[in-house]
Amino acid sequence: MAPLDPARTAVCPRLRHKRFQTAPRLPSMAVRTVNKLVRDRVPGIILEGGEMPSFRILDDGEFLSALNDKLQEEVAEYLESGTMEELADVLQVLHSLSELLGRGERELEYFRSEKAAERGAFRSQVFLESIDDMR
């Protein structure tokens, strides 16, 4: 039996156990295709629920694309629900994007605060309706 990729077992340590290293799919097993980026602990949670996750570790290019897709998904979920939990998911994706781009949360916050200092934030709830050209 070939050993598992160390990156996989770092994400889901229980997969190190010999019985999880091969999971032949029987014809009667139902397989749900997911094909989306999930949080680090999700494979372990699935395993603890009695199902066998199949996943891979993305390279940086694939990860960037998956994070962009995840951002759209989480924004749509927030717009539908309006909950702080969904808004926190959006923030998590933004933090992951800033880390991937080599910037990190601090630099993201720096740019946010610089832009707020220069152009303001949204505290005054200003909604611009039109601009007349007065030249």
* Tokens 């897709």, located at residue: 69
Q: What is the pTM of this model?
A: 0.76
Tell me the pLDDT tens digit for each residue of 10-67: 666 655 554 444 455 555 578 999 999 999 999 999 999 999 999 999 999 999 999 9
Tell me the pLDDT tens digit for each residue of 63-90: 999 999 999 999 999 999 999 999 999 9
Q: Tokens representing 52? A: 């066998």
